Amino acid sequence: MTGLRRFTGPEFIRHLEGARRGGFAAPAGAEEAVAAIVAAVRERGDAAVLEFTARYDGVALAGAALEVAPEEIRGAYGLVDEAFLGALRRARDRIAAFHRWQLSSGYQFQDEGGNTLGLLVRPLERVGIYVPGGRASYPSSVLMAAVPARIAGVREVVMCTPPGPSGRVDPAVLVAAAEAGVDRVFRVGGAQAVAAMAYGTERIPRVDKIAGPGNIYVTLAKRLVFGSVAIDGLHGPSEVAVVADAGADPAWVAADLLAQAEHDPLAAAVLVTPEAALVERVEEELGRLLEAAPRREVAEHALAGQGAVVVVAGLEEAFEVVNRMAPEHLQIMVADPFPWLERVRNAGAVFLGYHAPVPAGDYAAGTNHVLPTGGTARFFSGLGVHDFVRTVSYFHSTPAGVARWAPASRALAEREGLPAHAASVAFRLAAVERGW
Protein backbone atom coordinates (compact mmCIF):
# COMPACT_ATOMS: atom_id res chain seq x y z
CA MET A 1 0.00 0.00 0.00
CA THR A 2 1.36 3.41 -0.92
CA GLY A 3 -1.12 5.37 1.14
CA LEU A 4 -1.68 7.96 -1.60
CA ARG A 5 -5.08 9.63 -1.43
CA ARG A 6 -6.80 10.59 -4.68
CA PHE A 7 -8.32 13.96 -5.43
CA THR A 8 -9.76 15.87 -8.32
CA GLY A 9 -8.24 19.32 -8.89
CA PRO A 10 -10.98 21.27 -7.03
CA GLU A 11 -10.99 18.71 -4.18
CA PHE A 12 -7.25 19.07 -3.70
CA ILE A 13 -7.41 22.87 -3.67
CA ARG A 14 -10.11 22.73 -0.98
CA HIS A 15 -8.00 20.22 0.96
CA LEU A 16 -4.99 22.58 0.77
CA GLU A 17 -6.97 25.55 1.95
CA GLY A 18 -8.25 23.64 4.93
CA ALA A 19 -4.84 22.24 5.84
CA ARG A 20 -3.16 25.65 5.67
CA ARG A 21 -5.87 27.70 7.32
CA GLY A 22 -4.23 27.29 10.72
CA GLY A 23 -1.02 28.90 9.51
CA PHE A 24 2.40 27.87 10.75
CA ALA A 25 1.87 24.82 13.00
CA ALA A 26 4.14 23.79 15.86
CA PRO A 27 3.96 20.99 18.45
CA ALA A 28 2.33 21.84 21.75
CA GLY A 29 4.74 23.64 24.03
CA ALA A 30 7.38 24.14 21.33
CA GLU A 31 6.96 27.91 21.06
CA GLU A 32 7.25 28.36 24.82
CA ALA A 33 10.32 26.13 24.97
CA VAL A 34 12.04 28.00 22.14
CA ALA A 35 11.21 31.37 23.68
CA ALA A 36 12.82 30.25 26.96
CA ILE A 37 15.96 29.05 25.15
CA VAL A 38 16.29 32.27 23.16
CA ALA A 39 15.82 34.42 26.27
CA ALA A 40 18.39 32.41 28.22
CA VAL A 41 21.02 32.68 25.48
CA ARG A 42 20.38 36.38 25.12
CA GLU A 43 20.86 36.89 28.87
CA ARG A 44 23.57 34.34 29.72
CA GLY A 45 25.46 33.86 26.46
CA ASP A 46 27.87 30.94 26.23
CA ALA A 47 26.82 29.50 29.59
CA ALA A 48 23.28 28.98 28.29
CA VAL A 49 24.55 27.63 24.96
CA LEU A 50 26.68 25.04 26.77
CA GLU A 51 23.79 24.12 29.05
CA PHE A 52 21.38 23.48 26.19
CA THR A 53 24.00 21.62 24.16
CA ALA A 54 24.44 19.23 27.08
CA ARG A 55 20.68 18.92 27.58
CA TYR A 56 19.51 18.48 24.01
CA ASP A 57 22.55 17.08 22.17
CA GLY A 58 23.88 15.04 25.08
CA VAL A 59 27.33 16.60 24.66
CA ALA A 60 29.18 18.33 27.48
CA LEU A 61 31.60 20.90 26.08
CA ALA A 62 34.05 23.32 27.62
CA GLY A 63 33.54 26.89 26.51
CA ALA A 64 36.64 26.91 24.33
CA ALA A 65 35.40 23.82 22.51
CA LEU A 66 32.35 25.61 21.11
CA GLU A 67 34.39 26.69 18.11
CA VAL A 68 35.90 24.07 15.84
CA ALA A 69 39.65 24.71 15.76
CA PRO A 70 41.38 25.26 12.40
CA GLU A 71 43.54 22.18 12.93
CA GLU A 72 40.42 20.03 13.35
CA ILE A 73 39.11 21.36 10.04
CA ARG A 74 42.43 20.66 8.32
CA GLY A 75 42.49 17.21 9.85
CA ALA A 76 39.03 16.49 8.47
CA TYR A 77 40.49 16.24 4.97
CA GLY A 78 42.29 13.07 6.05
CA LEU A 79 38.99 11.53 7.14
CA VAL A 80 37.11 11.82 3.83
CA ASP A 81 37.85 9.93 0.64
CA GLU A 82 38.98 11.44 -2.61
CA ALA A 83 35.77 10.51 -4.42
CA PHE A 84 33.71 12.51 -1.94
CA LEU A 85 36.08 15.46 -2.14
CA GLY A 86 35.94 15.45 -5.93
CA ALA A 87 32.14 15.32 -5.92
CA LEU A 88 31.97 18.10 -3.34
CA ARG A 89 34.21 20.34 -5.42
CA ARG A 90 32.26 19.68 -8.61
CA ALA A 91 29.03 20.54 -6.82
CA ARG A 92 30.58 23.68 -5.33
CA ASP A 93 31.82 24.86 -8.72
CA ARG A 94 28.43 24.30 -10.38
CA ILE A 95 26.63 26.11 -7.56
CA ALA A 96 29.11 28.98 -7.82
CA ALA A 97 28.74 29.23 -11.61
CA PHE A 98 24.95 29.50 -11.39
CA HIS A 99 24.94 31.99 -8.53
CA ARG A 100 27.51 34.30 -10.17
CA TRP A 101 24.84 35.10 -12.76
CA GLN A 102 22.76 36.58 -9.95
CA LEU A 103 25.32 39.27 -9.13
CA SER A 104 24.25 42.84 -9.72
CA SER A 105 26.28 46.02 -9.39
CA GLY A 106 23.16 48.17 -9.26
CA TYR A 107 21.97 50.64 -11.85
CA GLN A 108 21.69 54.33 -12.60
CA PHE A 109 19.55 56.37 -14.97
CA GLN A 110 18.69 59.98 -15.73
CA ASP A 111 15.29 61.44 -16.47
CA GLU A 112 14.62 64.15 -19.07
CA GLY A 113 15.38 66.91 -16.54
CA GLY A 114 18.85 65.58 -15.76
CA ASN A 115 17.94 64.11 -12.35
CA THR A 116 20.02 61.02 -11.54
CA LEU A 117 18.47 58.06 -9.76
CA GLY A 118 20.33 54.91 -8.85
CA LEU A 119 20.73 51.87 -6.70
CA LEU A 120 23.86 50.69 -4.90
CA VAL A 121 24.23 46.98 -4.13
CA ARG A 122 26.29 46.22 -1.03
CA PRO A 123 27.03 42.88 0.67
CA LEU A 124 26.13 42.17 4.27
CA GLU A 125 29.05 42.35 6.68
CA ARG A 126 28.60 39.05 8.55
CA VAL A 127 26.12 36.23 8.01
CA GLY A 128 25.39 33.07 9.94
CA ILE A 129 24.47 29.83 8.24
CA TYR A 130 22.73 27.02 10.05
CA VAL A 131 23.44 23.48 8.89
CA PRO A 132 21.34 20.64 10.34
CA GLY A 133 23.36 17.83 11.84
CA GLY A 134 23.94 15.79 14.94
CA ARG A 135 22.88 12.27 13.92
CA ALA A 136 22.76 13.13 10.20
CA SER A 137 25.17 14.94 7.92
CA TYR A 138 24.41 17.54 5.25
CA PRO A 139 27.58 18.85 3.58
CA SER A 140 25.46 19.91 0.59
CA SER A 141 23.59 22.41 2.78
CA VAL A 142 26.91 24.03 3.67
CA LEU A 143 27.58 24.69 -0.02
CA MET A 144 24.08 25.98 -0.70
CA ALA A 145 24.30 28.69 1.97
CA ALA A 146 27.98 29.59 2.07
CA VAL A 147 28.78 29.72 -1.66
CA PRO A 148 26.17 32.41 -2.52
CA ALA A 149 27.23 34.42 0.54
CA ARG A 150 30.83 34.41 -0.61
CA ILE A 151 29.90 35.32 -4.17
CA ALA A 152 27.84 38.22 -2.82
CA GLY A 153 30.97 39.56 -1.11
CA VAL A 154 30.04 38.92 2.52
CA ARG A 155 33.03 39.76 4.70
CA GLU A 156 32.61 36.97 7.26
CA VAL A 157 30.61 33.72 7.14
CA VAL A 158 29.92 31.98 10.45
CA MET A 159 28.44 28.49 10.63
CA CYS A 160 26.62 26.66 13.41
CA THR A 161 25.91 22.94 13.28
CA PRO A 162 25.03 20.47 16.03
CA PRO A 163 27.76 18.18 17.36
CA GLY A 164 27.44 14.43 16.94
CA PRO A 165 27.21 12.09 19.94
CA SER A 166 30.99 12.19 20.32
CA GLY A 167 30.96 15.98 20.44
CA ARG A 168 32.66 16.26 17.07
CA VAL A 169 31.33 17.65 13.79
CA ASP A 170 31.19 15.27 10.86
CA PRO A 171 34.44 15.62 8.85
CA ALA A 172 32.45 15.84 5.61
CA VAL A 173 30.68 18.95 6.91
CA LEU A 174 33.96 20.51 8.02
CA VAL A 175 35.56 19.87 4.64
CA ALA A 176 32.51 21.38 2.92
CA ALA A 177 32.83 24.45 5.15
CA ALA A 178 36.48 24.87 4.21
CA GLU A 179 35.78 24.38 0.50
CA ALA A 180 32.88 26.85 0.57
CA GLY A 181 34.83 29.60 2.35
CA VAL A 182 33.28 29.50 5.83
CA ASP A 183 35.41 31.51 8.26
CA ARG A 184 34.36 30.06 11.62
CA VAL A 185 32.50 26.90 12.63
CA PHE A 186 30.72 26.37 15.95
CA ARG A 187 29.47 23.03 17.23
CA VAL A 188 26.12 24.37 18.36
CA GLY A 189 22.66 23.40 17.13
CA GLY A 190 18.98 24.04 17.69
CA ALA A 191 17.31 27.18 18.93
CA GLN A 192 20.38 28.03 21.02
CA ALA A 193 22.49 28.33 17.85
CA VAL A 194 19.98 30.71 16.26
CA ALA A 195 19.83 32.85 19.41
CA ALA A 196 23.62 32.93 19.72
CA MET A 197 24.05 34.16 16.15
CA ALA A 198 21.20 36.66 16.51
CA TYR A 199 22.42 38.30 19.73
CA GLY A 200 26.06 37.26 20.01
CA THR A 201 27.76 35.56 22.96
CA GLU A 202 31.25 35.70 24.40
CA ARG A 203 32.52 33.41 21.63
CA ILE A 204 29.88 33.36 18.91
CA PRO A 205 29.67 36.65 17.01
CA ARG A 206 26.44 38.46 16.26
CA VAL A 207 25.49 38.27 12.59
CA ASP A 208 23.40 40.42 10.27
CA LYS A 209 21.41 37.55 8.78
CA ILE A 210 20.78 33.86 9.47
CA ALA A 211 20.21 31.49 6.56
CA GLY A 212 19.66 27.78 6.21
CA PRO A 213 17.08 25.12 7.03
CA GLY A 214 16.53 23.33 10.33
CA ASN A 215 13.99 21.48 12.42
CA ILE A 216 10.86 23.02 13.91
CA TYR A 217 12.78 24.44 16.89
CA VAL A 218 15.29 26.15 14.62
CA THR A 219 12.47 27.57 12.50
CA LEU A 220 10.58 28.85 15.54
CA ALA A 221 13.75 30.46 16.85
CA LYS A 222 14.38 32.19 13.52
CA ARG A 223 10.86 33.58 13.59
CA LEU A 224 11.35 34.80 17.16
CA VAL A 225 14.66 36.63 16.57
CA PHE A 226 13.56 38.20 13.27
CA GLY A 227 13.87 41.95 13.63
CA SER A 228 17.03 41.74 15.70
CA VAL A 229 18.54 39.92 12.73
CA ALA A 230 17.37 39.19 9.21
CA ILE A 231 16.38 35.66 8.19
CA ASP A 232 16.09 33.97 4.82
CA GLY A 233 12.71 32.37 5.49
CA LEU A 234 10.86 29.80 7.58
CA HIS A 235 11.66 26.34 6.29
CA GLY A 236 9.47 23.32 6.94
CA PRO A 237 9.31 19.72 5.72
CA SER A 238 10.30 18.99 2.13
CA GLU A 239 7.67 18.77 -0.60
CA VAL A 240 7.38 18.01 -4.29
CA ALA A 241 4.65 18.28 -6.90
CA VAL A 242 5.20 16.19 -10.01
CA VAL A 243 3.22 17.13 -13.12
CA ALA A 244 3.43 14.16 -15.49
CA ASP A 245 2.09 13.34 -18.95
CA ALA A 246 1.62 9.98 -20.64
CA GLY A 247 5.28 9.89 -21.69
CA ALA A 248 6.61 9.94 -18.14
CA ASP A 249 8.20 6.68 -16.99
CA PRO A 250 6.13 5.46 -14.01
CA ALA A 251 9.21 4.06 -12.27
CA TRP A 252 10.92 7.43 -12.54
CA VAL A 253 7.86 9.24 -11.21
CA ALA A 254 7.63 6.80 -8.29
CA ALA A 255 11.33 7.20 -7.52
CA ASP A 256 11.02 10.99 -7.51
CA LEU A 257 8.03 10.90 -5.16
CA LEU A 258 9.89 8.51 -2.85
CA ALA A 259 12.98 10.76 -2.90
CA GLN A 260 10.99 13.45 -1.11
CA ALA A 261 8.99 11.10 1.11
CA GLU A 262 12.16 9.61 2.61
CA HIS A 263 13.23 13.02 3.94
CA ASP A 264 10.80 13.30 6.81
CA PRO A 265 7.52 11.81 8.09
CA LEU A 266 5.98 15.24 7.40
CA ALA A 267 7.29 15.51 3.81
CA ALA A 268 4.73 15.93 1.03
CA ALA A 269 4.79 14.12 -2.32
CA VAL A 270 2.03 14.91 -4.82
CA LEU A 271 1.47 13.59 -8.35
CA VAL A 272 -0.67 15.80 -10.61
CA THR A 273 -1.63 14.23 -13.93
CA PRO A 274 -4.43 13.90 -16.46
CA GLU A 275 -3.39 10.29 -17.12
CA ALA A 276 -5.41 7.81 -15.03
CA ALA A 277 -3.45 4.86 -16.47
CA LEU A 278 -0.18 6.45 -15.34
CA VAL A 279 -1.50 6.71 -11.79
CA GLU A 280 -2.05 2.96 -11.53
CA ARG A 281 1.43 2.18 -12.84
CA VAL A 282 3.09 4.76 -10.57
CA GLU A 283 1.39 3.30 -7.51
CA GLU A 284 2.56 -0.19 -8.51
CA GLU A 285 6.15 1.04 -8.91
CA LEU A 286 6.01 2.99 -5.68
CA GLY A 287 4.88 -0.10 -3.78
CA ARG A 288 7.73 -2.09 -5.29
CA LEU A 289 10.32 0.57 -4.43
CA LEU A 290 9.03 0.88 -0.88
CA GLU A 291 9.60 -2.81 -0.22
CA ALA A 292 13.35 -2.31 -0.63
CA ALA A 293 13.60 1.23 0.74
CA PRO A 294 16.05 1.59 3.67
CA ARG A 295 13.93 4.49 4.99
CA ARG A 296 10.66 2.70 4.34
CA GLU A 297 9.03 3.57 7.67
CA VAL A 298 9.70 7.29 7.23
CA ALA A 299 8.55 7.26 3.61
CA GLU A 300 5.36 5.32 4.29
CA HIS A 301 4.44 7.71 7.09
CA ALA A 302 4.97 10.69 4.79
CA LEU A 303 3.01 9.17 1.92
CA ALA A 304 0.11 8.21 4.18
CA GLY A 305 0.00 11.65 5.77
CA GLN A 306 0.83 14.05 2.96
CA GLY A 307 1.01 11.92 -0.19
CA ALA A 308 -1.60 12.52 -2.88
CA VAL A 309 -2.57 11.89 -6.46
CA VAL A 310 -4.51 14.66 -8.17
CA VAL A 311 -6.23 13.57 -11.38
CA VAL A 312 -7.01 16.59 -13.55
CA ALA A 313 -8.78 17.14 -16.85
CA GLY A 314 -5.62 18.34 -18.61
CA LEU A 315 -2.28 20.07 -18.13
CA GLU A 316 -3.97 23.47 -17.99
CA GLU A 317 -5.78 22.39 -14.83
CA ALA A 318 -2.60 20.77 -13.52
CA PHE A 319 -0.89 24.15 -13.41
CA GLU A 320 -3.87 25.75 -11.72
CA VAL A 321 -3.44 23.15 -8.98
CA VAL A 322 0.32 23.52 -8.56
CA ASN A 323 0.14 27.31 -8.51
CA ARG A 324 -2.32 27.09 -5.64
CA MET A 325 -0.07 24.56 -3.90
CA ALA A 326 3.07 26.72 -4.40
CA PRO A 327 5.34 23.71 -3.86
CA GLU A 328 8.93 23.84 -2.73
CA HIS A 329 9.89 21.66 -5.72
CA LEU A 330 7.96 21.37 -8.96
CA GLN A 331 8.85 18.71 -11.53
CA ILE A 332 7.33 19.18 -14.98
CA MET A 333 7.74 15.69 -16.42
CA VAL A 334 6.26 16.30 -19.85
CA ALA A 335 7.61 15.89 -23.36
CA ASP A 336 7.97 19.62 -24.06
CA PRO A 337 8.29 21.35 -20.68
CA PHE A 338 9.48 24.83 -21.58
CA PRO A 339 6.15 26.23 -22.85
CA TRP A 340 4.61 25.18 -19.53
CA LEU A 341 7.32 26.98 -17.56
CA GLU A 342 5.56 30.23 -18.45
CA ARG A 343 2.48 28.97 -16.57
CA VAL A 344 4.40 28.64 -13.29
CA ARG A 345 3.63 31.45 -10.86
CA ASN A 346 4.39 29.89 -7.49
CA ALA A 347 7.19 27.39 -6.86
CA GLY A 348 10.50 27.33 -5.04
CA ALA A 349 12.41 25.61 -7.85
CA VAL A 350 11.31 24.01 -11.11
CA PHE A 351 12.78 20.87 -12.72
CA LEU A 352 12.01 20.48 -16.40
CA GLY A 353 11.58 17.32 -18.41
CA TYR A 354 12.11 13.66 -17.76
CA HIS A 355 15.83 13.84 -16.97
CA ALA A 356 15.83 16.56 -14.28
CA PRO A 357 14.78 15.16 -10.86
CA VAL A 358 14.75 17.16 -7.65
CA PRO A 359 17.86 15.37 -6.26
CA ALA A 360 19.85 17.06 -9.04
CA GLY A 361 19.01 20.39 -7.43
CA ASP A 362 19.70 18.96 -3.99
CA TYR A 363 23.33 18.38 -4.88
CA ALA A 364 25.08 19.28 -8.10
CA ALA A 365 22.76 20.83 -10.69
CA GLY A 366 23.93 24.24 -9.49
CA THR A 367 20.59 25.66 -8.37
CA ASN A 368 19.95 26.14 -4.65
CA HIS A 369 18.17 23.62 -2.44
CA VAL A 370 17.30 26.03 0.39
CA LEU A 371 13.75 26.78 -0.73
CA PRO A 372 10.40 28.04 0.58
CA THR A 373 7.99 25.38 1.85
CA GLY A 374 4.42 25.11 3.08
CA GLY A 375 3.00 27.38 0.39
CA THR A 376 5.40 30.22 1.21
CA ALA A 377 6.68 30.13 -2.37
CA ARG A 378 3.81 32.57 -2.93
CA PHE A 379 5.99 35.26 -1.35
CA PHE A 380 9.46 33.81 -0.59
CA SER A 381 12.22 32.87 -3.03
CA GLY A 382 14.91 30.23 -2.90
CA LEU A 383 18.21 31.18 -1.32
CA GLY A 384 20.57 33.10 -3.58
CA VAL A 385 23.07 35.92 -3.85
CA HIS A 386 20.20 38.41 -3.38
CA ASP A 387 19.80 37.15 0.20
CA PHE A 388 23.27 38.36 1.15
CA VAL A 389 23.17 41.90 -0.19
CA ARG A 390 21.11 44.98 0.52
CA THR A 391 20.40 47.93 -1.73
CA VAL A 392 20.86 51.65 -1.14
CA SER A 393 19.02 54.09 -3.38
CA TYR A 394 20.43 57.49 -4.29
CA PHE A 395 19.18 60.64 -6.00
CA HIS A 396 20.83 63.74 -7.47
CA SER A 397 18.93 66.71 -8.87
CA THR A 398 19.92 69.54 -11.15
CA PRO A 399 18.30 73.00 -11.27
CA ALA A 400 16.63 72.01 -14.51
CA GLY A 401 15.41 68.79 -12.94
CA VAL A 402 13.70 70.36 -9.92
CA ALA A 403 10.54 71.05 -11.88
CA ARG A 404 10.16 67.33 -12.50
CA TRP A 405 9.64 66.41 -8.85
CA ALA A 406 9.25 69.53 -6.70
CA PRO A 407 5.67 70.69 -7.43
CA ALA A 408 4.24 67.22 -6.80
CA SER A 409 6.38 66.77 -3.68
CA ARG A 410 5.23 70.12 -2.23
CA ALA A 411 1.57 69.38 -2.95
CA LEU A 412 1.76 65.99 -1.25
CA ALA A 413 3.62 67.40 1.77
CA GLU A 414 0.96 70.07 2.21
CA ARG A 415 -1.82 67.48 1.90
CA GLU A 416 -0.19 65.35 4.58
CA GLY A 417 0.14 68.29 6.97
CA LEU A 418 3.95 68.47 6.99
CA PRO A 419 4.78 72.16 6.41
CA ALA A 420 8.53 71.78 6.97
CA HIS A 421 8.65 69.18 4.22
CA ALA A 422 6.83 71.58 1.90
CA ALA A 423 9.15 74.45 2.86
CA SER A 424 12.24 72.34 2.12
CA VAL A 425 10.94 71.75 -1.38
CA ALA A 426 9.84 75.37 -1.79
CA PHE A 427 13.38 76.63 -1.16
CA ARG A 428 14.58 74.65 -4.18
CA LEU A 429 11.76 75.91 -6.37
CA ALA A 430 12.46 79.51 -5.38
CA ALA A 431 16.17 79.12 -6.03
CA VAL A 432 15.52 77.75 -9.51
CA GLU A 433 13.13 80.64 -10.25
CA ARG A 434 15.93 83.07 -9.25
CA GLY A 435 18.24 81.33 -11.71
CA TRP A 436 20.45 79.62 -9.11
Residues with a catalytic annotation lie at 328-329
On whether the CB atoms of residues 210 and 233 are closer than 8 A, the answer is no
User: What is each CA distance from 295 to 123, 132, 164, in whole angstroms?
Assistant: 41, 19, 21
On whether the CB atoms of residues 159 and 176 are closer than 8 A, the answer is no
User: What is each CA distance from 383 to 29, 149, 334, 349, in whole angstroms?
Assistant: 30, 10, 27, 10
- Find, among 396, 434, 395, 403, the residue nearest to 113 by Cα: 403
The whole-angstrom separation of Cα 206 and Cα 420 is 39
- Find, among 332, 106, 108, 137, the residue nearest to 241 by Cα: 332
User: What is each CA distance from 242 to 11, 333, 340, 347, 354, in whole angstroms?
Assistant: 17, 7, 13, 12, 11
CB-CB neighbours of 427 under 10 Å: 10
- Find, among 327, 302, 130, 304, the residue nearest to 215 by Cα: 130
Write the burial class of residue 269 (CB in 10 Å: 0-12 exposed, 13-18 middle, 19+ buried): buried
